[in-house]
Structure formats: structure tokens, C-alpha cells
Structure 1
Amino acid sequence: MSVPLYQAKAEFFRTLAHPVRIRVLELLCEGPKAVRDLLAEIEIEASSLSQQLAVLRRYGIVTATREGSTVVYALAGADVSELMLAARRILTDLLTDRRELLAELQAPTSPGEGG
């Protein structure tokens, strides 16, 4: 039995729905990185990073290659980078709209305005 597309999309977004995973993807948008470099940037326990990388790898969002004793992670495709940029644009728009609304709410009310 096949999974409906909307359900598969929800599972995909659940896979991304963790701050460490998002940070890893942001860093990998810059290019492939060794685990030690990711650890230095994210500053979490190695075991926690390993768990989050395993989730991303299992879903096929990142790839891992061994270079000697070093494991290097990379995005599995350019689409992930585009998704991260789209998320940034969406959040920027949302926050800009909210900031404008907040400014309107904080502005002094004119006479006769019901607030």
C-alpha cells in the first residue's frame, strides 16, 4: 500500500523538525564538512550530533563519505539548499509583516480611533 503524497511530505518535514538538523543543513549548504567541523560549529555532544546526522542520512537528505579516519557529510542534492533558502525567505517575509503590525499596534492612537 502506498503512502499518500501529503503524508510523505509531512514525514519529510518531521525529519527536518529539529534545531540541530536544521543547523547541520545550514552548514552543509556552505559545502561538505567533516564531523569535527560540524561539532565545532554546533557545540553539542558528539553522540547527539551523531544521532541527528543518522536521521538525516537515513532519510537520504545527507550523504557521508569516509576520508581516512574522517567522515565528511554533504547535502544529498541541491534541492535541500534551495529549501533552506526558501525557508529563510518565508521567515523573513513573516517577520517583516509582524514587525509592521507591531509598529502599528504601538503607534499612538488618533482621536476617535477605537484601538
Structure 2
Amino acid sequence: MSVPLYQAKAEFFRMLGHPVRIRVLELLQDGPKAVWELLAEIRVEPSSLSAQLAVLRRSGIVTATREGSTVVYALAGADVAELLAAARRILTELLVGQNELLAQLREQPA
């Protein structure tokens, strides 16, 4: 039996639901990076980064290639960068709305 589309989407967003995974995807927007480069930027334990990279790799959202003893990760497609940009736009709009509400609250007497 096939999985309903809404369930597949929920699983996809759940896969994205970790700060380290989001940060990895953000860093990979600039191009492929070796694991040591990701570690230097993210500053988590190597085992933690490895676990999060494995989740991204299993989902097919990133690719991994070996260059000698170095593993290099890259985004599997440009759509991921577009998704992150859309999330940024949505968050920006939400925060602007919250700032407007905060300004209104500050204008009203207690």
C-alpha cells in the first residue's frame, strides 16, 4: 500500500526537523564541503554530525563522495536551497508581524 502524499510530506519535514541538519543544508548551499569543513563551521561532536549526515544521506537530500580519505557532501539538487529561501521569507514575514504587534502593545498604556 502506498503512503498518502500528506504523510510523505510530514516525514520529509520531520527529517528536516533538527538544527544541525538545517545548518548543514545551509552550508552546502555554497557548494560541496568536506566533513572537516562542516565540523569547523557547526562545532558539534563528530559522532553527532555523522549521525545527522547519515539521516540526510538516507533521505536522498544530500550526496556523499569519497575523495581519498575525505568524504565530501553536496546538496542533491537546487530545490533544497529554494526550500530554505522560502522558509527564510516565511520567517521574516512572521517576525515582521510580531514586531508590528509588539509596537502596538508598547504604544498602549498599561
TM-score by length of 1: 0.93
Structure 2: give runs of 5+ residues left out of the alignment: none
3-state DSSP class of the match of 2:108?
A: coil
3-state DSSP class of the match of 1:30?
A: coil
The aligned counterpart of 1:54 is 54
Q: CA deviation at 1:29?
A: 0.7
CA distance in 2, matches of 1:31, 1:99: 34
Counterparts of residues 72-91 of structure 1 (less than 5 Å)? 72-91=72-91
Larger Rg: 1
3-state DSSP class of the match of 2:72?
A: strand
Structure 1: give runs of 5+ residues left out of the alignment: 110-114
Deviating runs (4+, > 4 A) in structure 1?
Answer: none
User: Is 1:15 paired with 2:15?
Assistant: yes
The aligned counterpart of 1:64 is 64
The aligned counterpart of 1:97 is 97
CA shift digits 1:4-42 (9 cap, x unpaired): 000000000000000000000000011110000000000
Alignment coverage as a number of residue pairs: 110
Q: CA deviation at 1:108?
A: 3.3
CA distance in 1, matches of 2:19, 2:40: 16
TM-score by length of 2: 0.97
CA distance in 2, matches of 1:48, 1:108: 47
CA RMSD of aligned residues (A): 0.9
